[in-house]
Chains A and B, each alone.
Chain A
């Protein structure tokens, strides 16, 4: 008989996520991902000065505020009809790139590794799910040592970020029109020195550690397939108009590579606590109208779909679409727990090496910022790639104020609930078929979920006032 397992809270992610799976015959047969991204930030933004969006949306997430800073400034640039000067574009890329490195390192060592590596028998490493830890003692110890080293490395990445970003978390250096910082050779060499150390860590410690874990957990190349549809908006503009991106934009849908068409994005609401009348709208027209208690709904996340399909976003999608041989060479096995970890590590290396070249393109003494005026009426769209996947911001300005603001974040794609057609979201699909040895210690479920690097961007868990959540469980 099928047994329900609830993992709540899923820790070592950003925010609050609850996973429910049904296990039958030792395998997951159904899955539900419930979470929220609703502190009402979109509602809070309405009526404010459009420029404030850049600071307020960063507060959606303290792990990747640079991603929201980037998406919101692309959005505002677009709405204001401006573009940053070359230096401004590069500074933004360097600030954001520094956080890519920080985020990927943090994700592997501090959020995920403890699913594979046994920490010392003391807080905060105990208590933990017991069972399947396979690394021999000496190997295990080495990775724990790297866990500690990685704390230092991720901090260094933030220091590097602050050279141009001002401070972190929540940067000030990324503003509409470019950057508030200026550039000189001292800042460049300061940045470069830290970058070299980080690059060496990524190439000589991080990637080898992922491969080591892969060696002992080979079966995780066959666990967590998911929907196998991939999408990337593209990240790190290489031209001042933003069209050419270092991380390529594209779509891989039902085995076919396609060009990205953002007009094909809609948000489904049937299983979310939002008014059905607004379902299947493009985010630009999106309405955030909460409807607690809606029958059958089980999440405060909307279900974004591309051309009607669920899409996986994140490093695997970007490396596949970008043609990374080591990822594509895995074939179907790339769509797996380990495929996702490997893609993330390889991407960290790619971005780190590219950043060194971007540094050399800076032209000290030239402007970093384009002045602008707020238009009375306008619309904008800002698309980028957060470390954990495709991130889009949309704005409507009326009478110099924000009339509508919508953000569709990566985890809304990955951890989305079922859509209007009943099709499961990417993480839900990835969980199907996952073996669960011990229902008391469902570590396999945690491994599948964490490989997506979920960022719920908010520790709020929303549900129906005065009603038992259980009413909505379909099991």
Chain B
């Protein structure tokens, strides 16, 4: 990957948003777009079995904001919710740009890939009177792309649409595209920084950021929520909230912080105003491969936690629990996950399922 040099990237970055402030006239915005777009890496964004939440979350990016991202960092060739193009013009846009920018563009995939019945459960347009199946199109675009970003837990691990009984046979992007090419940015939805920061790493250093066993960048998913939780002292002192809006550790209300990897406690959400646990609600484990089935039910407390937290990387524990959610709370808890007691299944405990 050598599309954009570090110097070029920094040049874009220094082209400050202030010069495009609202007091400036629009031709300047247009000028910036037309010029910047020439050197900016092309991005094509497509949606499968998704809810659009990941796209909406990206719009909430603060530094850089979405304006700066669009004007100065990427050249967004197609996005289903943002692009002016519609109908056949849209189909020509994403197919044509992929061909034109073969080997150079970044493909962002939002949503899981429905594969049941040859993938007919999802199409993203029509060409020559034929529906374009999502599962076929992402293979085609994935092959042409320089790298693929699977944004959100659905694209990364299957997520909600793949929850039992997985009616449309949804699978993660990495099961239909060469996983070496795929970077997972899980979260339901992901924090905008997780996407923007990962992309910045790729553009600056010309490589995918280092990832854990589950293909997510360690720079954002390297630590356990529980270890950095502002309510951690309550846990250590065995003070537990018994109802929403009470002070105390939220473990009894079902908090999955001890088995969830992300930097939410230190990064905070929506411009830093709040995040789930600060708002009195348990972590629901939305960045984990087991979300929602293996990490649910959402409001059921996890099995008795006897040991104070032991930090461990997802890699270490991933070895032990296989596809089940990696954890960091000691052998007792791991045993429960492996035997299926934690990760209580919605209908019945599937003993021995990993």
Contact = CB atoms under 8 A, between A and B. Distances in A.
Nearest to B187: A170
A413 B286 CA distance: 31
B234 interface: no
Interface stretch (A4-12, A225-233, A381-389, A428-436): A4-12
Main secondary structure of the interface of A (DSSP, over half): loop
A120 B71 CA distance: 11
A368 interface: yes
A173 B273 CA distance: 13
Nearest to B278: A166
B33 A120 contact: yes
A384 B219 CA distance: 41
Contacts of A10: 86-87
Main secondary structure of the interface of B (DSSP, over half): loop
Interface string B151-167: 00000000111011101
A49 B51 contact: no
B49 A39 contact: yes
B300 A111 contact: no
B81 A51 contact: no
Interface in B85-133: 85-93, 111, 114, 117-118, 120-126, 129, 131
Contact of A162 (B244, B270, B292): B270
Contact of A65 (B53, B114, B121, B161): B53
A368 to B, nearest CB: 5
Interface string B48-83: 111111111101101001110010000111111111
Nearest to B46: A459
A177 B286 CA distance: 23
Contacts of B52: 14-15, 61-63, 459
Contacts of B159: 59
A459 B54 contact: no
B258 interface: no
B320 to A, nearest CB: 27
Interface string A329-371: 0000000000000000000000000000000000000011101
A134 interface: no
Given A14-B52, A120-B29, A167-B270, A369 B279 contact: no
Contact of A127 (B59, B84, B122): B84
Interface residues of B, number: 95
A460 B279 contact: no
B310 interface: no
Interface stretch (A146-154, A303-311, A313-321): A146-154
A47 B65 contact: no
Contact of B189 (A62, A127, A461): A62
B347 interface: yes
Contacts of A172: 276, 279, 281, 284
B288 to A, nearest CB: 14
B122 to A, nearest CB: 5
Contacts of A15: 52
A319 to B, nearest CB: 25
A170 B188 contact: yes
A59 B188 contact: yes
Contacts of B88: 6, 8
A48 interface: yes
Contact of B279 (A48, A114, A141, A167): A167
B296 interface: yes
A471 to B, nearest CB: 12
Contacts of B279: 162, 164-167, 172-173, 180-181
Given A141-B27, A170-B188, A182-B245, A460 B59 contact: no
A341 to B, nearest CB: 18
B37 A123 contact: yes
Nearest to B153: A59
B194 to A, nearest CB: 13
B34 interface: yes
B122 A460 contact: yes
Contact of A129 (B33, B86, B281): B86
Contact of A7 (B77, B79, B86, B346): B86
Nearest to A52: B298
A38 B48 CA distance: 13
A172 B346 CA distance: 21
Given A15-B52, A49-B297, A39 B89 contact: no
B87 A442 contact: yes
Contact of A60 (B51, B57, B129): B51
A369 B245 contact: yes
Interface of A: 6-16, 18, 38-41, 43-44, 47-49, 51-52, 55-56, 59-63, 65, 110-111, 114, 119-129, 141-142, 144-145, 148-149, 151-152, 154-155, 158-159, 161-170, 172-173, 175, 177-182, 190, 367-369, 371, 401, 442, 446, 457-466, 469-470
30 contacts: A9-B87, A9-B90, A11-B85, A12-B80, A44-B164, A52-B299, A52-B346, A62-B51, A65-B53, A122-B30, A122-B33, A124-B79, A124-B82, A124-B84, A124-B85, A125-B33, A148-B67, A155-B271, A158-B60, A162-B273, A167-B276, A169-B53, A169-B57, A170-B286, A173-B279, A178-B244, A180-B280, A459-B52, A460-B121, A460-B161
